[in-house]
Structure 1
């Protein structure tokens, strides 16, 4: 019976320590922009429209963090959050 467990292939999925969720990166970038006195919404929109990382401060490593993500993934996260939060409001 003990040999039966060795006959099966086990799958191990681990999240890298430095891998952050899209929402975590957005929150970090938002806070970094806010701390530096920028309007975070305007700066993020500028980045999303142009792709120019100069819209994002390097404070708190925000520029490097946001560049880990594809802009379409960021937009998808934002649209999903917006629509899901509005669905919840209507349900109440």
Structure 2
């Protein structure tokens, strides 16, 4: 039996999807299933309860892999960037 003394490393493949991609996948999945995506996503962001998000198209899994503060940060950045200066 060969005994190894060095530490083995294991890493999961990094998710290549952006926060925006995930939000849009979730949004579109919610619409396809007949839910109000804005209300459902807000419910999830406020409560952290993943049952606000449909499992259709793997949406619940995708959004639960993101930190809620990262999702909020993306939403605020997008909102501010798309406002007209008055």
TM-score by length of 1: 0.76
Q: How does 1:10-25 map to 2 (within 5 A)?
A: 16=14, 18-25=15-22
Match of 1:31 among 22, 25, 28: 28
Alignment partner of 1:83 is 2:63: no
Number of the residue aligned with 2:63: 66
SS, match of residue 38 in structure 1: coil
For 2:60 and 2:19, locate their aligned partners in 1 and report how far apart those are by CA, in whole Å. Answer: 14
RMSD: 1.6
Higher Cα radius of gyration: 1
| 1:27 Cα offset (Å) | 0.2
Q: Which runs of 5+ in 1 are unaligned?
A: 1-14
The alignment partner of 1:90 has SS state of coil
Count of matched residue positions in the alignment of Structure 1 and Structure 2: 74
Correspondence for 2:43: 46
